[in-house]
Structure formats: structure tokens, C-alpha cells
Homo-oligomer: A and B are copies of this chain.
């Protein structure tokens, strides 16, 4: 795959995760990469294409992470911590997550982007619910609700915390994310 294409994908994701989908333009990308507007359109004919491709890339990244954790036989705590670490890293880089960046704009997105985003959220929630269920069965997690509800609460907390952190400016993210984990201890 083309290097320029990859750079556009990466920068596009960064822009969406810092400014938002409806706030960034192809000019932002071309000027930053030192190329012209038309070159960006060569790889991604429309902004919709770019948006959808970015979500698809993230789906793939998530799938690879899950496969990787399974092959390395991560236990339930290690897997959950891996998810939380993604958010700690995002916070350190002053970025929101892909889901939290696209979600508020969902109504304004292309149909295919909406579809992929939905797929991504369902994928994460299903994986998380199963993980919580397994962990509870093995006695390493403790929680009262259904695994599906708990997965939704945990994921929501992670998504919105990055948004609130950006608003508040300062937030002790480490101890906040730790409290989410502590909450599951038996």
C-alpha cells in the first residue's frame, strides 16, 4: 500500500480525534503533509471514503489486538488492562477515541461510515461482555449487573472520560481508570 495513503489515513484519524469529523478539512491534511488538495482526493475521492476507511482500519486494529491477546493467552485482567491502556495512552496524547469522536456526529455521517461505526461498537461491547462474564465465572471479577450492562457502563466511562478530560483540562486519568478496574475486584 502507498506510503502517502497511509500518512493520510493516520493524519486523518488524528484530526478526527482532536478536532472532530466536521471540523477538519482536506486542506488540513494536504498542508500538513506538504502535498496538494487534489492528491488527497486521489486516494480518497470523498471525505466519506476517508471517514469509512478510518473506522475500518480501527476495526481491523481491534481484531488484531484481540487475536494477539488470545495467542499470548492473556488472562481476563490482562485483557481488560490492555483496553484501559489504550485510553490512558489516548489521554496522554490529548486525543479522544475513535468511537467518542465519531459518535456525536453520527447523524451527519455517510451511511457506510455509520454502519462501520455501529459494527465497531458492537464488536467492542460483545468482546467486553464476554470477557467480564468469563472473568466472573472464574471468580476474578465481581459485579452485580448483567455482563452486557457492565460492559456498557465501563465502555461508556472510558469513552466519555476522554471528552471530559479535554474540557476540564486537567484530570488524574491514571487514578480514574484505576477506579474502574478496582470496582471489579472481588
A interface list, Cβ under 8 A from B: 18-20, 22-23, 96, 99-108, 114, 117-118, 121-122, 144-146, 149-150, 152-153, 155-161, 163-164, 166-169, 171, 175-176, 179-180, 182-183
Contacts and interface: CB of A to CB of B under 8 A. Distances in A.
Given A145-B182, A183-B144, A107 B153 contact: no
B107 A167 contact: no
Contact of A105 (B23, B107, B114): B23
Chain copies in complex: 2
Contact of A163 (B103, B144, B145, B157): B103
A184 to B, nearest CB: 11
Contact of A161 (B156, B164, B183): B156
A101 B161 CA distance: 14
Nearest to A175: B149
Given A22-B105, A160-B160, 6 more contacts: A99-B164, A102-B167, A104-B163, A118-B167, A118-B168, A156-B156
Nearest to A108: B23
A163 B167 contact: no
Given A19-B107, A145-B182, A169-B118, A176 B152 contact: yes
Given A121-B164, A164-B152, A175-B149, A108 B159 contact: no
A166 B20 contact: no
Given A23-B22, A149-B175, A176-B152, A106 B166 contact: yes
Contact of A100 (B117, B144, B158, B163): B163
A163 to B, nearest CB: 4
Contacts of A100: 104, 160, 163
A146 to B, nearest CB: 8
